[in-house]
Chain A
Amino acid sequence: MRWRFLARRLAMLMGSLLVASFVIFGALYLAPGNPISALSGGRALPPASMHVLEQRYHLNQPFLTQYWYWLENALHGNLGISITLQQNVSSVIAARMWTTGGLVLYAALIIVVVGIGSGVVAALRPGLVDTSVLVSTAVTAALPSFVAAIILILVFSVKLGWFPALGNGTSFWSNVQHLTLPAVALAISSLAIVSRVTRAAVREEADREHVQTAISRGIPARQLIRRHILRNAAIPIATVSGITIASLIAVAAVVETAFSLNGLGAYLVQAAESKDLAVVQGISLVLVTAFVVINAVVDLLYAALDPRVTLGSRAQ
């Protein structure tokens, strides 16, 4: 069962990649502008060098030929050459992947620990704690990450000097330091949603009959929360966490730009502006893959959390 699930997911991934690559290639092809004139900053190039550059990057070929050329190379593991950087797209991606990966992981960790944690605490401790979680999540849910980024930089690096304002670190610890503010900026609004959903799910489970019965049978509170409330609340929590974490991949571009991080998202925006087709394709495919993989992991998690869920089963 598990293997068939994985095989089906892999086929889905391949299908998504193929469709996405065609759509992105076509959209960029149709968009006005020309990568060569983006390269020369609008300078009128001599026709001879224009011709040389167009030939070098196969820009004078018809659309389908260009796409086929790209696809054939990609299937052989060659993602092409960046027109602006004159560098292999795979090394462009490799140089930036860890920044985006680290940023998303760090933000996911914050969402899981703080978001779920505060939601559970708020659900189980009505009163002051609950109210303050509700108020603070109401504020942060409305905070887009680019605004959060500016506020965080202003407070924690310009005024207090606790964290660096921009750039990547050089060692593991300095990387953690450099990524802290960006991860918080990225996590902050999703965190509020996860916290809210967690609170509601836990509340609902806590009011259920089997929990009331367990209480009346004198089961200790710790065991009650862990086995009877959290276990059952885990499915909606996993769903919303999975969706928000997967969406972080797309939002990361905004945060990377705000903190001048050397990540995939920020470069994707830049490459799209200069119509650097191979780079846009390469990065998009990495992002699509990551998105599909995260969703598959969430599905696997369902099965682990709830034995009644079978992998790959159709919705009833």
Chain B
Amino acid sequence: MSPRRRTSAAAAASIAACACALLATACGRSVNASTTSGEVSPTHGLVTTTAAGTKPVSSVTWAVYRPVNSLDPIFAFDYPENTAISLMCESLLLQSPGGEIGPGLATVATPTPTTMVFTLKPGVTFWDGDPVTPADVVYSLDRQMDPSYGGFYGQVFNRVKSIAATGSDQVTITLKQPDYWLEGELSSMPGIIIQKSYALREGKNYGTPSGGIMCTGPYEFKSWTAGAGVTAVANPHYWNSSVRPLAKQIVIKGVPSAASFTSGMLTGAIQGSYYFGLSNLSQLEHSSAVRVYQGPGQSTDALVVSATSGPLANVKVRQAISLALDRQAIISQVYDGAALMPRWLANPGTFGYGQSVFTAAYDKSPVLNQNLAAARKLAREAGVAGQTITLGTSSELASISAETGAYQQAAEAIGLKVVLKSVSAADYINFFTSAQARKGIDGFITVNYGDYADPAALLDTLAMPGGDQNYDNFSNPQMTALLDQAEGTANPDQRAALVAKAEELAARLLPWIPNVQPTNVLMLSKGLTGAVASFSYMFAPWADHLGGTG
């Protein structure tokens, strides 16, 4: 079970600074007509890209929720690092804005189920003009796998037996057993290719402010003043001649305060961002200085079930709470409209392959609407009236405590008692990392996502025995069989059918309870266009067509 997910509890911690305070006159207002809140069709009203820019622009300041900590892909785990690295660096395979995985720096062939042969595209060069060689590829992947570097993605390569250069432009990965999920990982941070000689020269300094980086992308690393931001400039010798970057310079700047971010967008001090979880989004939507787009998201907002006994360990009680939950209130209050009602645990933006199979199955599944009568009936059958559940929360995190409040309401509506255990924002992360912190906690809120567009990327971690987010020891033979089979199934449509069945099962058994499916929010200053609008910006270049409007 590879750890194919990230947790944005840390992210939530930092954006929780109340943006609502005084800036937002429109604070807490409900959904406006232009957004698609409550829509259930996977991509209705959502855009994956924006119209390509046509004019050069001299400089763009791009905001992330905190300063970038590292530019080394082995340490890239969170929004700021991913945003900066995917701007400048490229991976072996590439995720399109729609989530499909295709050739990146290399094309892939699978002559046998346990062999992956990567052929580098001709003419692929690093920023300094040197060609990308199989040695660079082997080095980059080895660096990800080798625990002595302390990287975060080692387990992704669990099924890999060996990685070797097998030709002047060829690298072969031999697997212990088939792993059709590895292609997805190699289109994300684990597949980023860096220059071997440069990384060896810089050693531990690689990816730090003093060491810099050497990659292949359309934007080239220029400078990084810790705190002031990472500056990338257009690479005039980009190997892919079909892309000519229009922005001369892009500065990735950490803006930890949501209020400060909002005023920065309104005054033009910030020209673009994928800032998420803004409770005053509609204020920006109504400004003439800013354009707000919503694209397919890949993250899931859910209640992690960590109860191994008690009411929440009972599937009927989970179903009852899920039926009693007021998800529309979460969409309007926490996301200001930028989220969809769920049918599955997976966000429909994760359908990166077998899309027709996924979409057909998804559309047949019921929307998780509120139904108090049905919820009470289930709770009576379970006979849990008067029993107590304990939810972990943090009153310092506005969105987390608002959602915990919605759960408290739902649980009380079906006759349960709720105890809240609130910790500091900084300690919220411990619910995920420490069994000690989870002791006595039946559930807590998360926003979670996988490394690539595949519903299984997240489901695998929480519904498989031994999965690293399977805190309630959830185990269902049918689920295990479906996911195991999917990982070894080559045909995308067949794999999608298996994963879809697993998702339908998860929507019934609720190993976690899905709350809402956040969309990906892109904000651009008026006069700018061309950035990718979907969540794939986290893993693949997003500013290839960013430029001025005509």
Please tell me which one of the listed residues A39, A40, A166 contacts residue B255 in the complex, with CB atoms under 8 A apart.
Answer: A166
B309 within 8 A of A: no
> CB distance B150 to A41 under 8 Å?
no
A-contact 0/1 string along B138-176, CB 8 Å cutoff: 000000000111111011000000000000000000000
> CB distance A166 to B263 under 8 Å?
yes
Smallest CB–CB gap between A47 and chain B, Å?
A: 8
**A41 in contact with B7 given A49-B149, A86-B70 (CB within 8 Å):** yes
**A165 in contact with B150 given A43-B3, A84-B69, A86-B204 (CB within 8 Å):** no
CA of A154 to CA of B21 in the docked complex: distance in angstroms?
A: 12
> CB distance B257 to A260 under 8 Å?
yes
B-contact 0/1 string along A201-229, CB 8 Å cutoff: 00000000000000000000000000000
B222 within 8 A of A: no
> CB distance B260 to A259 under 8 Å?
yes
**A86 in contact with B260 given A32-B430, A43-B6, A44-B3 (CB within 8 Å):** no
> CB distance B208 to A85 under 8 Å?
yes
A53 within 8 A of B: yes
Smallest CB–CB gap between B58 and chain A, Å?
A: 14
Instruction: Provide the residues of chain B in CB contact with A44, threshold 8 Å.
Output: 3, 432-433, 468-469
**A154 in contact with B13 given A85-B209, A257-B257 (CB within 8 Å):** no
CA of A270 to CA of B80 in the docked complex: distance in angstroms?
A: 14
Please tell me which one of the listed residues A48, A91, A161, A167 contacts residue B253 in the complex, with CB atoms under 8 A apart.
Answer: A167
Residues in B216-274 with C-beta less than 8 Å from chain A: 225-228, 253-257, 259-261, 263-264, 266-267, 269-270
B485 within 8 A of A: no
CA of A53 to CA of B147 in the docked complex: distance in angstroms?
A: 10
> CB distance B269 to A87 under 8 Å?
no
Chain A interface residue bracket vs B: 35 or more
B22 within 8 A of A: yes
> CB distance B226 to A95 under 8 Å?
yes
> CB distance A262 to B228 under 8 Å?
yes
> CB distance A41 to B8 under 8 Å?
yes
Smallest CB–CB gap between A166 and chain B, Å?
A: 5
> CB distance B267 to A158 under 8 Å?
yes
B10 within 8 A of A: yes
> CB distance A85 to B226 under 8 Å?
yes
Please tell me which one of the listed residues B13, B75, B148, B269 contacts residue A273 in the complex, with CB atoms under 8 A apart.
Answer: B13
Please tell me which one of the listed residues B150, B208, B260 contacts residue A56 in the complex, with CB atoms under 8 A apart.
Answer: B150
CA of A52 to CA of B152 in the docked complex: distance in angstroms?
A: 12
**A166 in contact with B260 given A33-B427, A42-B429, A46-B147 (CB within 8 Å):** yes
> CB distance B77 to A41 under 8 Å?
yes
Instruction: Provide the residues of chain A in CB contact with B149, threshold 8 Å.
Output: 49, 52
A residues near B (Cβ < 8 Å) are 32-34, 37-46, 48-49, 51-53, 56, 84-87, 91-92, 95-96, 147, 150-151, 153-154, 157-158, 161, 164-168, 257-260, 262, 266-267, 270, 272-274
Given contacts A42-B432, A153-B23, A165-B263, 16 further A-B contacts (CB under 8 A): A32-B437, A33-B430, A39-B75, A42-B7, A42-B10, A42-B433, A43-B5, A43-B77, A45-B152, A85-B226, A86-B208, A87-B210, A95-B227, A96-B227, A167-B61, A260-B254
Provide 23 A-B residue pairs closer than 8 Å at the C-beta atoms, listed in order of the A residue: A38-B10, A39-B69, A44-B432, A46-B147, A48-B147, A85-B226, A87-B226, A91-B209, A91-B226, A95-B226, A158-B266, A158-B267, A165-B267, A167-B253, A257-B256, A257-B257, A259-B260, A260-B253, A260-B260, A260-B264, A262-B227, A270-B66, A273-B425
